[in-house]
Each structure stands twice: as structure tokens, then as C-alpha cells.
């Protein structure tokens, strides 16, 4: 065990942190296909023995004050959410996450304990799915934390893309929508006078999302499911991406959207439209299209097997010329693509 620098607890060197990471991330029982992990110039693993194995690779970057706010999000939260954002992309392809590499840049003043707290958040998120951190890089930044992660998954089954939606498909989502967006709103506004229990539930759903890896594999193994992606930038924007890739339109219905009782209750108390939060992003739920028979079969199967969260049908795929629309309960129709998170849209800044 490396001794602590009791004077300031700052990392003495990159080598010190690498050794700490190696001790944290080294598997107790090394997978047979992991030949070399943390500590060399690169990690080495063998491809699956099944000739049908396909690799799925994704990457996400999180930047302080854009994706997380120091002081509102703990270092553990940052690590957990970094991993879950990547794991959710793997889930959206119907694959199983296996390996991760992480690049972390931290400014002066971030302590060794805080860096290790971040690493523990990463590890716990990966452990949930039997995946491993096998490498990465560490560097110093000028004033903010920045983290980039790449996760590699694999599958021997069908890889579901955004471009597979077909006319007549129903549109469905896992879980409930808006919890994360409202949880962030409550983090930023601690003075809202709300029930403490409800506040804690929503904040926890923001801080501790769970990638729907098992759901993704169930969808990918059903021939009637045609397209899938995860909801990271908001239902409207991400549905728009499926439609653009598939050259189709979509119609969804507000009364069918799965909105938790917590979001409904707090939105009403704040005098806010719950759709503001439903469309805000970072739910990390799955958005799928497929035949009604296939989706309803999976709904029943999951209910019978006690697989949570539930899946809800919210609309249908229509001809492209009809566009993408959301039928509201008051009878109005809006374009849900106008709501959601876009990193580069000026109105979001």
C-alpha cells in the first residue's frame, strides 16, 4: 500500500496514481481473454472465441460546468455518470460491455482522495455489468476537470441501429422520463420547498442512472425490433435522430409518456410543464421501434419475469412527409425535436 502524503494529500506523481488505480481496478480473478491490463503502454485482450463475435466501441467526454457541477456532484457521482453514459451507448446496440479506458485531466487542488473517489464511482458502475477498466491516461488541466471514457462491448447477436425503423412500427421506451432532468433542477435550486423524500428520489435518479444493458440484449434478440438508441439528449431530439436515420416520421402522445409520480407532483408544485423535464435528457433509457406484436410480447415477458423497469409504448412510426409530432393532452401538436439538449445550439448556452 502506498503511503499517504499527510501534508496535503495531493498525488505525489502520476506513477503513484497508476499504482493506486492498478490496485483498485485489477480483477480479483483475471478474465481469460484479458492478457494485459493497467500498467503497460496499452492493454491487450483476445477477441471472443465465437467467430460471430462483433465488437462495439463508444466514447463520451464529460466536462466540468457542462456535464457536471463540482460541489453539486461528488467525485464519485462524476465517475459513476461517466461510466453509465458509455454503458448506455453499449446497451443501445444490444451488446455486453467488457472493457473500458479512461482519460482524466484534473486541475491543481484536486486531492488524491477525490481522484480515487472518482475511480471508485467508475469501478462500481462497471462492476454492475462485469466490465473492467483496463487502461487510460492522466494529465493536469488548467482549471477544470475533464474526463473521457471509451468502452468496448461485444455481441454475437444482432446489432440494432438507429436506421432500422419501419412504417407501422410502434415506438417504446424503458423506464420513466424526466426524473434526471428534474433531479438536476432540484440540485441547482436547493431552496425549493418540497417534500424531502421526493427531492431525494429525483436527485438520486439524476446522480445514479443505470444503463439498460439487459433490456438492450432482450430487444436485440427479438427479430421484430428494428431500431434502438439511448435517450441522452432528450426524447424529442433522440427520436428525431432515429427518424432522420430511418427516413421516417413519428407521432407520439403525451398521455402515453411514462412520467413518474415524483415528476408529476414536483412539476405541479413548481408550476412547470413536466414535458420540460421529459425532454431535457440524460435519462439513459432506451428508445426502440418494432412491430406491435414483438414489443407487446416483450412487455408481457418482462412483466412475467419481473424484469424492471417496465417498457411503455408511446407512439408510432409514420411516413416522413408527416414529420415528427407530439400530440398534447390539450389537443395541440408540437415538434418534440424543438425540446432537449444540444451542445452547440445557442439557445442552450
Q: What residue segments make up the domains of the chain, in order of their start? A: 14-155, 162-348
Could you state, in chain order, the average pLDDT of each consecutive group of 10 residues for the chain (349 residues)? 45 69 81 85 83 92 89 94 97 96 91 92 96 91 93 93 97 97 95 94 96 96 97 95 98 98 96 94 96 97 96 98 95 83 46
Q: What's residue 125's pLDDT? A: 97
Distance (Å, whole) CA 309 – CA 283? 13
Superfamily of domain 14-155: PurM-like, N-terminal domain (3.30.1330.10)
Fold match between domain 14-155 and domain 162-348: no
Measured CA to CA in angstroms, residue 272 lies from 181, 186, 267, 308 at distances of 13, 13, 5, 28
Neighbours of 266 (CB within 10 A): 26
Q: How many CA atoms lie within 13 A of 184 on its CB side?
A: 20
Prior bond to 100 cis, omega within 30? no
CA-closest candidate to residue 172, choices 339, 320, 333, 309: 309
Q: Which residues, including other chains, have CB under 8 Å from residue 348's CB and lie 6 or more apart?
A: 341, 342
User: pTM for the whole thing?
Assistant: 0.89
Q: Which CATH class is domain 162-348?
A: alpha beta
Q: What's residue 337's pLDDT? A: 82
Amino acid at each position: 500500500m502506498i503511503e499517504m502524503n499527510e501534508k496535503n494529500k495531493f498525488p505525489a506523481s502520476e506513477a503513484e496514481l497508476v499504482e493506486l488505480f492498478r490496485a483498485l481496478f485489477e480483477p480479483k480473478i483475471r478474465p481469460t481473454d484479458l492478457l494485459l491490463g493497467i500498467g503497460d503502454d496499452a492493454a491487450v485482450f483476445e477477441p471472443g472465441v465465437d467467430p460471430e463475435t462483433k465488437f462495439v466501441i463508444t466514447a463520451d467526454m464529460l466536462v466540468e460546468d457542462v456535464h457536471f457541477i463540482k460541489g453539486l456532484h461528488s467525485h464519485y457521482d462524476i465517475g459513476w455518470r461517466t461510466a453509465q453514459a458509455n454503458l448506455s451507448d453499449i446497451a443501445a446496440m444490444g451488446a455486453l460491455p467488457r472493457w473500458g479506458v479512461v482519460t482524466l485531466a484534473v486541475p491543481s487542488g484536486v486531492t488524491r482522495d477525490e481522484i480515487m473517489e472518482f475511480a471508485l464511482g467508475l469501478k462500481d458502475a462497471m462492476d454492475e455489468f462485469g466490465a473492467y477498466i483496463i487502461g487510460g491516461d492522466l494529465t493536469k488541466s488548467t482549471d477544470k476537470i475533464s474526463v473521457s471514457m471509451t468502452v468496448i462491448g461485444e455481441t454475437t447477436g444482432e446489432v440494432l441501429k438507429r436506421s432500422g425503423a419501419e412504417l407501422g412500427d410502434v415506438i417504446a421506451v424503458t423506464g420513466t422520463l424526466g426524473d434526471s432532468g428534474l433531479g438536476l433542477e432540484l440540485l441547482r435550486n436547493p431552496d425549493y420547498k418540497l417534500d424531502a423524500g421526493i427531492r431525494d428520489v429525483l436527485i438520486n435518479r439524476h446522480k445514479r442512472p443505470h444503463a439498460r444493458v439487459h433490456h438492450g440484449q432482450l430487444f436485440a434478440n427479438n427479430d421484430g425490433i428494428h431500431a434502438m438508441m439511448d435517450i441522452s439528449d432528450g426524447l424529442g431530439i433522440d427520436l428525431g435522430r432515429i427518424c432522420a436515420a430511418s427516413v421516417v416520421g413519428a407521432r407520439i402522445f403525451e398521455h402515453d409518456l411514462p412520467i413518474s409520480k415524483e415528476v408529476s407532483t414536483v412539476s405541479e408544485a413548481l408550476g412547470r410543464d413536466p414535458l420540460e423535464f421529459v425532454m431535457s435528457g440524460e435519462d439513459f433509457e432506451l428508445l426502440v421501434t418494432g412491430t406491435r406484436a414483438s414489443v407487446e410480447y416483450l412487455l408481457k415477458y418482462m412483466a412475467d419475469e419481473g424484469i424492471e423497469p417496465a417498457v411503455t409504448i408511446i407512439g408510432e412510426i409514420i411516413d416522413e412527409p408527416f414529420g415528427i409530432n407530439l400530440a398534447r393532452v390539450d389537443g395541440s401538436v408540437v415538434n418534440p425535436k424543438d425540446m432537449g439538449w444540444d451542445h452547440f445550439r445557442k439557445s442552450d448556452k
